[in-house]
Amino acid sequence: MAPSAVAAGYPSPAQDYFDGRINLNEHLIKDVTSTYLVRVSGHSMDGAGISDGDELIVNRALEPKDGSVVVAVLDGELTVKRLRITKGGVVLQAENPEYPDIKVPELASLQIWGTATLALHHL
């Protein structure tokens, strides 16, 4: 990691040299044993800043809660959605108005594989 923050405005002439190794695990992953990467396919989460082709860092040890972005398995199909827990039941919410939310039926098989902690967005 660079020894100081990088200016997004005018560059600092004092920060013209950096010699060091980067270990992204140290900076992006809190629990290596329960964390994995998934690549996103599709546009249903565009409104959450998650685009087609992005990678999500997902932690299986975190307790999913209302509002979490999760990787879920619904009746054997993987999906990335925002978890909503309502009085009427569980909803897997899309973050794009062109995609419908998924109201999880009572008899459906739903497993939350993990909670997304970070999106690696490609420029």
Catalytic residue among 4, 12, 30, 44: 44
Catalytic residue among 34, 41, 81, 103: 81
DSSP string for residues in the chain = --SSPPPSSSPPGGG--------HHHHH-S-GGGEEEEE--SSTTGGGT--TT-EEEEESSSPP-TT-EEEEEETTEEEEEEEEEETTEEEEE-SSTTS--EEPPTTS-EEEEEEEEEEE---
Q: Is 44 annotated in the active site?
A: yes
Where in the sequence numbering do the catalytic residues fall?
44, 81
